[in-house]
């Protein structure tokens, strides 16, 4: 078991809510009671979100699939540590984030993308025929800028601005204080905006 995941099990508990209000929690209880088919239902309900989250953190389809699969296997293995009444999805997201951290350490360098898009930008804006290429390259550059962020800032930004978690929820998932998430997310936004401005700049400076 990785060091990161050991931390998962010892972190502060996620918010409690009556199990009756959390259908995923009910499914988890059924799995714990021996109904392993309920785990299939649990996977079906949560997998799109977990896979999307893993892809947003890792920026790689294959790695994201591996991370999501690993997250579910860990979740099944350690389902006993899930507290009855605890909100299930943040518990699962926490495991997924740590699975992503573990896999990101094994990732090699990202494929090189063009450093700037200026070749497709004229003074009157992008040429229509090149708009699709420009859009694809802009996506690549934004993804590259996101992946260049430090792990904590990237996770904070993904959870806050892409996954829609509140600062407090993101803090509990990441096992840090809310003020840390605020700071990391704000720093990440500023870095990303600066990177976008730099990468998309026409010759000679900012747009």
Residues contributing to the site for other proteins (CB under 8 A): 31-32, 34, 36, 39-40, 43-44, 47-48, 51-52, 55-56, 61, 65, 68-69, 72-73, 76-81, 83-84, 138-139, 142-143, 146, 157-158, 160-162, 167, 182, 185-187, 189-190, 192-193, 196-197
Q: Residue length, the chain?
A: 207
User: 70: which residues sit within 8 A by CB, 6+ positions away?
Assistant: 99, 102, 103
Which CB sits closer to other proteins, 33 or 129?
33
Which is closer to other proteins, CB of 64 or CB of 101? 64
Q: For other proteins, which is the closer residue by CB, 17 or 139? A: 139
Cβ nearer to other proteins, comparing 26 with 196: 196
- Residues 155, 156, 162, 165, Cα dihedral to 10°: 120
Instruction: Return d(Cα 117, Cα 133) in angstroms, integer.
Output: 10
Extract the tokens encoding 182. 């605020």
| Smallest separation, CB 183 to other proteins (Å) | 8
CB of 63 to other proteins, least distance (A): 13
d(CA 79, CA 65): 21
Residue 13 vs 127, nearer CB to other proteins: 13
Is the Cβ of residue 39 or residue 101 nearer to other proteins in the bound state? 39
Main-chain dihedrals φ then ψ at residue 125, nearest 5 degrees: 100, 180
Residues 6+ apart with CB under 8 A from 151: 101, 104
Reading the block at residue 5, the tokens are: 């995941």
| Shortest distance in whole angstroms from residue 108 CB to other proteins | 20
Closest CA to 83 of 37, 19, 6: 19
Residue 41: CB atoms within 10 Å: 15
Least CB distance to other proteins at residue 35 (A): 10
Q: Cβ of residue 52: shortest distance to other proteins, in angstroms?
A: 4
- Could you tell me the smallest distance in angstroms from the CB atom of residue 99 to other proteins? 12
């Amino acid at each position: 078991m990785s060091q990161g995941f050991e931390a998962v099990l010892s972190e502060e508990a996620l918010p409690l809510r009556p199990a009756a209000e959390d259908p995923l929690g009910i499914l988890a209880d059924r799995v714990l009671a021996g109904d392993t088919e309920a785990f299939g239902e649990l996977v079906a309900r949560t997998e799109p979100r977990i896979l999307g989250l893993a892809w947003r953190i890792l920026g790689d389809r294959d790695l994201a699939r591996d991370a999501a699969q690993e997250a579910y296997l860990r979740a099944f293995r350690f389902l006993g540590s899930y507290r009855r009444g605890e909100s299930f999805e943040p518990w699962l997201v926490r495991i997924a984030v740590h699975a992503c951290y573990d896999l990101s350490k094994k990732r090699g360098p990202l494929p090189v993308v063009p450093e700037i898009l200026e070749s497709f930008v004229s003074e009157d804006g992008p040429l229509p025929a090149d708009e699709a290429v420009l859009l694809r390259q802009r996506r690549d550059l934004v993804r590259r800028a996101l992946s260049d962020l430090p792990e904590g800032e990237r996770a904070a930004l993904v959870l806050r601005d892409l996954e829609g978690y509140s600062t407090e929820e993101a803090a509990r998932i990441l096992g840090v204080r809310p003020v840390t998430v605020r700071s990391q997310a704000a720093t990440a936004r500023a870095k990303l905006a600066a990177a976008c401005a730099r990468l998309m700049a026409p010759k000679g400076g900012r747009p």
